[in-house]
Structure 1
Amino acid sequence: MQLAQNRYTIQGVDVLEIAEEFGLPLYVYDADKIIEKIGVLRSSFSGAPDRGVNLKIKYAAKALTNLSILKLMRMQGIDIEVVSVNEARLALLAGFEPAQIMFTPSGNAFAEIQEAIGMGLKLNVDSIPLLQQIGEVYGGSVAVGLRINPHITEGGNVKIQTGHVDSKFGISVLQRADIQDVVKQYGMTVIGLHVHTGSDFKNADAFLKGANVLFELASDFPDLQFLDFGSGFKVAYKEGDHFTDVADLGAKVSAAFQAFCAGYGRELELCFEPGKFLVSESGHLLVNVNVVKQNPNRTFVQVDSGLNHLIRPMMYDAWHDIVNVSNPAGDHQRYNVVGYICETDTFATDRDLPEVRPNDVLAFKNAGAYGFSMASNYNSRPRPAEVLVYDGKPYLIRQRETFDDILRGQVNLSVLNEAATVAGE
């Protein structure tokens, strides 16, 4: 989103015009920004140190699962990583082949694992009990990847650290002998090793620590096809924020990976699973200002959205830059920007903004990742519409929910209707 003559635009399209056409609240995504981020990641691994590695990018679908976004990813030639069979179904509808889909479950029911195997997905195994179940049912007929917990504490908010010793994710690196026992018992083929230690890494160090764990384990498995270092690239949420230097990451991880492949005896795929990195900056949540409420100590800006549409500020204390699209040149004041949900529902505290007036349109930036995908119908509120700006034109890619959508699936019990009638007599 760029400011041009006091007009905020996405690919030259005025944001206020998008709001007028599609209504509010509204998620808007910039396809060019997604394509740009894919290019940045690819170029960072294209020539280090003297030639590129065999890089495979797998989009972490959970960040944003709209079918049009998934199709855009496929058009850019990248694969996809999913954590549920329904995400896999969406990927198939978007045109991905089963072999392009990596399924990384975490405590999923075994029936879902079997369904994924039947669909032909690649499978990352997250626990010794699951590895044992697969061996008992399928023997050595199903090749697997292994998600390893490296016991590394890295990343931002503790809720997004996934590789420490107390994390539920992955097979502990200390269970190396147990892995070997199960694999040998059932004659299983391990084709990949995977590690994901969390999110918001500022430099290459966390990835190199995880990589060294996988390099050490790789000697146990002669049939490896890939090593997957997950993701966790930090994006800048406000001016001055630290962010992952992807070029430096590419150079250092590529050099380490090439040295490993030379020792292993052949070249493997180097995989990353970016989600937030690819879509966060593309997304904007547009909202309408319902009320500007002055209390003795605070001025509250109350908008037509809340944690039901963007939960990250309340769940992770996440910062999202806020733009007053309607009055960008107004005199600055301090506001608490809050939602309309019957909970403490704060987007921003003491935020410096151009004067905010009723019916102004505000834009929350960096809302592409884990915005709509974590949205809910809490307080019986409908979820917003979604729009993709592609090739300079906005397209509706998800209809706004209605009250009928909230009712869908509920069953009106006749026995309760009869009881209510008697009670009211």
Structure 2
Amino acid sequence: MSLSQNPISIQGVSLESVANEFGTPVYVYDEEKITSQIKTLQAAFSKVPLKIKYATKALTNINILKLVKKAGGEVDAVSVEEVRICLEAGYEGKDVMYTPNGVSMDEIKQVVALGAMINLDNIPVLEQFGQEYGNSVPVCIRINPHIMAGGNAKISVGHIASKFGISIHQLDEILEVVNKYDLQIAGLHLHTGSDILDAEVFLKGANVLFEAAMQFKDLKFLDFGGGFKVGYKEGDVVTDIMNVGDKVSDAFLEFCKKYGRDLELWLEPGKFVVSESGYLIVQANVVKKTPQITFIGVNSGLNHLIRPMMYDAYHSIYNLSNPEGELKKYNVVGYICETDTIASDREIAEVKMGDFLVIKNAGAYGISMASNYNSRLRPAEVLVWEGKAKLIRKREEFQDLLHNQVILDI
């Protein structure tokens, strides 16, 4: 489905009927898009032994995780809770890459007990890991190559000031700890951040990783991370996956010859897999005209989609109720007691109170970053699967806000 298309239905299921049946706001996901994104990656990297480790932080609903598994993918988790959700979805511990940042050794021990591959990104914890496990538990090391990818400053995190990964300039210190404890290094992981556009960024990082990998004799895999850029509006430049897959695969196979044996190539796509599959349907509560701006106030906000406010992210919006109406300029704002701007100076088919609006690219970091700010409830999630709309998360109710509160007799 091209960016210029504003779907009225998904797999024959009317989005308006979804809004009417399940209420708004509501997240809607297209199973076919998720599956096709995984198949695209598999085709692009068909020349190498590939493992796709879906970055679950993008969207952790168990049903989405099951879809990824059915399509041949595995998972990457950043917390013990994400690891446990993956296990609930049917993955085995060996299918899970655990890539934490700034966590305690206690949490790492919990995940070791669950059987996941541990991916460490700082030397003090690597030292603790060696003291605790020696060479009895395999581990991966996350390297920061200091190669900048694109995107907002908050998601472009491969630079030298980033908190993620161990600097490639500290390779000697890594090797000192590895040798001290005879650590079993199963893989190296490349961290470059988000919005990578072309093969050249991957190849620069790959060359850094290939050079470092020669210092480790028993590797099983190299993990190139994720960060593929998807389109948010017409004309957006997106990652040429087929070109990236072709060039990176060739470089990887050449490295394996030099290394002396075949390794697996791992990828950790998150946004690429689920972003374009997701739609957030909201309803116009008010159309408010001022001398300069016409605002559309909707029954959602940064509590359901924080990316516009946090990352200045662009999300296309269209009027589901009046798709062929005259285009007019609006600022779309949420109902949260903050600026809460979802879109500014946006041309949308004329909107009236009660119209359903659709916010695109809501599959990644929508519900997973949602909150109860202003004591608002989180929406329902619906999956369009095999031509039917299925509820996969109930809408919160008022009692959910009080569920864990301990009420004192004051």
- Whether the 8 Å CA contact 2:6–2:318 is kept in 1: the answer is no
Of 318, 321, 328 in structure 1, the residue corresponding to residue 313 of structure 2 is 318
- Give the counterpart of 2:362 among 367, 374, 378: 367
Cα distance per residue 1:121-163 (max 9 Å; x no partner): 1000110001000111112211110000111122211110121
Rounded to whole Å, the distance in 2 between the matches of 1:413 and 1:282 is 44
Who is 2:135 aligned against? 140
Q: 1:286 maps to what in 2? A: 281
Matched-pair contact (CA < 8 Å) for 1:53–1:270 = yes
Partner residue in 1 for 2:42 = 42
Q: CA deviation at 1:12?
A: 1.0
Matches for 1:172-321 after TM superposition, within 5 Å = 172-321=167-316
In structure 1, the partner of 2:30 is 30
1:376-395 matches, cutoff 5 A: 376-395=371-390
**Per-residue Cα deviation, 1:359-382 (whole angstroms, up to 9, x for no partner):** 000000011000110000000000
Equivalent in 58, 65, 69 of residue 63 of structure 1: 58
Q: Structure 1 segments of 4 or more deviating over 6 A?
A: none
Tell me what 1:152 maps to: 147
SS of structure 2 residue aligned to 1:250:
helix
Match for 1:152: what amino acid? I
Cα displacement string for residues 301-333 of structure 1 (whole angstroms, at most 9, x for unaligned residues): 000000000000001110111010000011110
| Secondary structure, counterpart of 2:288 in structure 1 | strand
The answer to whether 1:343 aligns with 2:338 is yes
Q: What is the DSSP-based 3-state SS (H/G/I as helix, E as strand, rest coil) of the residue aligned with 2:354?
A: coil
Identity of aligned residues (%): 59
Amino acid at match of 1:54: P
Question: Which structure would you say has the larger Rg?
Answer: 1
Indicate which of 352, 361, 364 corresponds to 1:357: 352
Structure 1, unaligned runs of 5 or more? 47-51, 418-425
> C-alpha deviations, 1:28-83, integer Å up to 9, x for none?
0000000111111111112xxxxx11111010000000011011111111110000
- Cα pair 2:198 2:240 within 8 Å, conserved: yes
> Does the 8 Å contact 1:336/1:349 carry over to 2?
yes
TM-score scaled by length of structure 2: 0.98
Question: Cα distance, 1:7 vs. partner?
Answer: 7.2
2:234 match: secondary structure? coil
Counterpart amino acid of residue 269 in structure 2:
P
Work out whether residues 193 and 227 of structure 2, in 8 Å CA contact, stay in contact via their aligned partners in 1. yes
Does the CA contact (< 8 Å) of 1:32 and 1:390 recur in 2?
yes
Output the CA distance in 1 between the equivalents of 2:325 and 2:183. 65
Asked if the contact 1:2–1:9 (Cα under 8 Å) also holds between the matched residues in 2, the reply is no
1:367 match: secondary structure: coil
What value does the CA root-mean-square deviation take over the aligned residues?
1.3
| Whole-angstrom CA distance in 1 between matches of 2:126 and 2:62 | 32
The gaps in structure 2 that reach 5 residues or longer are none
Helix, strand or coil: the match of 2:154? helix
Distance 2:386 2:287 in 1: 36
Q: Aligned pairs, how many?
A: 409
Counterpart amino acid of residue 405 in structure 1:
D
